[in-house]
Chain A
Amino acid sequence: MAQSLDRLKESPSQTAGPYVHIGLTPNFCGIGGVYTNDLGSTMLNGETKGERIELRIRVLDGTGMPLKDALIEIWQADADGLYNSPSELRGAADPNFPGWGRQPTDMETGVCLFRTIKPGRVPFRDGRLMAPHITLWIVARGINIGLSTRLYFSDEEKANAEDPILARIEHRVRVPTLIAERQGDAYVFDIHLQGEKETVFFDS
């Protein structure tokens, strides 16, 4: 026997369930008067630097049906590639951009809409630049542990081609599942939980 490493185990995850809105977006589900706003519902103000974009995201189940009870959080760098986080040591991020947003999928259409800015490039561990990307975290009824993925941009072909994380994906036919399609000022991104077009999810 060796000494104990004396570590705790992470609390196991459980599904967010169908009523996740009560806790995380109460105003969206009609519980008014407790919080002024739903946290994460607005990412921009008049002073935010960067190119304004809209993300239209859907999450589709194994039959291709959009989830109408999912909730997505996004985390991204500002226009200069800096994160608004105490663990960002490279410099101060845009004070007018939190970098974090939270939206439920629409209960009728299943579309989840974010108004944000296009992020700048952030260095990988070895100093190479990653392509502009947004980290997504998806929870819903039927999802036992939050799913992590990334959204990359269809009009960043050159940067995408040299991105160290995209390069990590062995089955190259799966890379396009992480690339949102530009349509006007919006990027459209369908996340497939299962099947032929299953989105790449990460363990990181």
Chain B
Amino acid sequence: MAERGSNHSPETGAFFQRDRQWHPAAFTPNYKSSVLRSPQRALVAFDNTLSELTGPVFGHAMLGELDNDLIHNFARPGESALGERIIVHGRVLDERGKGVPGVLLEFWQANAGGRYRHKKDAYLAPLDPNFGGCGRTITGEDGSYAFRTVRPGPYPWPNGPNDWRPAHIHFSVFGHGFAQRLITQMYFEGDPLIWRCPIVGGISNREAVEALIAALDMQSTIPMDALAYKFDIVLRGRRSTLFENRPEGN
């Protein structure tokens, strides 16, 4: 580990404060599971220390050849997953608009019918024997990434009596500091379920919701093979260290 993701010297400034009005609140009662799982007291704030400024960095050596190909990474030889073939690509940026190179992205999703390969998922839509549902990649020098998969189906879940999740792909993102750690979900342009979903609805700002909706990207399709969606992810930016206070003698 700790193989450098780029040749640039590491930045060490503190991360921008998180805008917690922009993120979903902890307590969002329309999403029922949040009711007993949300802290009720105020978070205790402090400026980043080394424990937040540093973070694990993963080398490309850990990746297998099919890690970013969910159509094939669980499929039997010569077969492929069933469903609408898509490419998902984009960049990981920070709030200053800089590409974030060398960061690990992990993603997971249901199959084309909305069924997850997980023993706790009892939905009656069948498993696809050629689809596992997990993938990962590491961003390039400019923060770009890409993977291919099948478009996941929507699925019902026991929240309200008739709640359905929009089609979505879960993303887990590392930055360069552990304080940038983020898990989110990507939605698909034009899906009418997005605006009915209590998990999405935990985000109160419409613009913030739109930041999670991937656009159909016809310029990145592979004709006669796969459609494409573009999804950029923004991590916390960091302050410059120009006039940082330093302890004496440091």
Instruction: Mark A residues whose CB is within 8 Å of B.
Output: 6-24, 26, 29-31, 33-36, 39, 61-63, 67, 69, 73, 75, 77, 83-89, 93, 98-100, 122-127, 130, 133, 135, 137, 139-148, 150, 165, 168-169, 174, 193-195, 198-204
A98 touches B97 (CB 8 A): no
Interface contact B235-A11, CB-CB below 8 Å: yes
Which residues of chain B have C-beta atoms less than 8 A from A88's C-beta? 50, 54
Q: Per-residue 0/1 for B28-43: is the Cβ within 8 Å of any A Cβ (1 yes, 0 no)?
A: 1001011111111101
B95 touches A7 (CB 8 A): yes
Taking a contact as CB atoms under 8 Å apart, the answer to whether B39 and A126 are in contact is no
**Stretch from B80-88, B143-151, B175-183, B216-224 that touches the partner:** B175-183
Interface majority SS (helix, strand, loop, mixed), chain A: loop
Q: Which residue of B lies closest to A90 (CB)?
A: B50
Q: Does B96 contact A (CB under 8 A)?
A: yes
A22-B134, A83-B51, A201-B39 given. 4 additional CB < 8 A pairs? A7-B96, A13-B24, A22-B116, A73-B181
Enumerate chain B interface residues (CB-CB to A < 8 A). 1-2, 4-5, 10-12, 16-20, 22-26, 28, 31, 33-41, 43-58, 62, 64, 66-67, 73-74, 93-97, 106-109, 116-121, 132-134, 136, 170, 172, 176-179, 181-185, 199-200, 202-203, 207-209, 211-212, 233-237, 245, 247-248, 250
**Structural contact, A30 and B44, CB atoms closer than 8 A:** no
Determine the residue in chain A with the shortest Cβ distance to B51. A135
- Given A13-B24, A35-B64, A85-B2, CB of A125 within 8 Å of CB of B41: no
Q: Could you tell me if A144 and B28 are in contact, using CB atoms closer than 8 angstroms?
A: yes
- CB closest chain-A residue, reference B116: A19
A145–chain B nearest beta-carbon distance, Å? 5
Minimum C-beta distance from A34 to chain B (A): 5
Q: Are A143 and B34 in touch, CB under 8 angstroms?
A: yes
CB distance from B154 to the nearest CB of A (A): 14
User: For B23, what are the chain A residues with a Cβ–Cβ distance below 8 Å?
Assistant: 10, 12-13, 144-145
Pairwise interchain contact A125-B49, C-beta atoms closer than 8 A: yes
Known contacts A10-B19, A12-B184, A144-B24, A23 near B170 by CB under 8 Å: yes
Complex Cα distance A36/B99, Å? 29
Select B176's contact among A13, A86, A143, A199, beta carbons within 8 Å. Answer: A86
Q: Could you tell me the distance between the alpha carbons of A53 and B184 in the complex, rounded to whole angstroms?
A: 32
The docked-state distance in angstroms from the alpha carbon of A67 to that of B33 is 11
Tell me which residues across on chain A come within 8 A of B34, comparing CB atoms.
15, 142-144
